[in-house]
Structure 1
């Protein structure tokens, strides 16, 4: 599956960015991406809610998902960033 890693390096995008100097493209380093926290959440969800369950209907699956989310919401604690914004920006692709 292709990704969009190098789309900002195409001639068309470079030309557009040159014509729009107020636009600065910043890329979040993979190791600091908020998506990594989403992946952590889905990992917790997989282990704690789904496990090796077999769902015979969409209703059963939906009920399990809602129960997990509702239970998690009552005792939720935020994920904690370990880097400052400046440390993250130092590693970003200019």
Structure 2
């Protein structure tokens, strides 16, 4: 796969991961990292990635980026939930 399309694919995966990780259920943020690991393993097994070191580095860096995005999304959901609870508490006090 040409390098520009790989870059575009990774950008799309990170965008989808960002969207999915901000959903209410935690499990939605797990799909993209699993798909990424499967895709990278397929690329390695078919010979598109020619060295083990390149495979391991790409896999680790990609998973770190996707898991970091998932973590940021979960923090955003938690913050939004806390703000909503604070609004509800202030409404109850009045």
Question: Could you say which TM-score interval applies, normalised by the shorter chain?
Answer: 0.3 to 0.5
Normalising to structure 2: TM-score of the pair? 0.33
Normalising to structure 1: TM-score of the pair? 0.33
Q: Compare the two structures and name the one with the higher helix fraction.
A: 2
